[in-house]
Amino acid sequence: MERPEFDITIGKDGKLRVQVKGVHGAKCLELADLVRDIVGREESRELTSDYHDPDERVRMNVDVKNRHL
């Protein structure tokens, strides 16, 4: 598993923007929630394509043989 990265930007208006990189799926939300809990109130949330990727990648090899029933 990759290490998560946080891209944190503080705007001139004082608003904090956080983008979580390097994790996918529910783990991304857990980390975003952690930052929210530290900083305080959350105004909005935008899910990126990384969120919709599966948490883990699974490789399956399947052999199918014809069987006469």
For the chain, what is the domain count?
1
**Residue at 39 is within a domain:** yes
Predicted confidence at residue 58, as pLDDT, reads 46
**Residue at 17 is within a domain:** yes
Q: What does residue 17 show for φ and ψ, rounded to 5 degrees?
A: -120, 125
Predicted confidence at residue 49, as pLDDT, reads 79
| Residues of the chain under the 50 pLDDT cut | 58, 60
Cα-Cα-Cα-Cα dihedral sign, residues 47, 40, 20, 2:
negative
Nearest-angstrom CA–CA distance, 16 and 43: 10
Nearest-angstrom CA–CA distance, 10 and 14: 6
**Residue at 13 is within a domain:** yes
Predicted confidence at residue 66, as pLDDT, reads 57
**Residue at 24 is within a domain:** yes
Predicted confidence at residue 14, as pLDDT, reads 84
**Residue at 43 is within a domain:** yes
The residue segments making up the domain with residue 9 are: 5-51
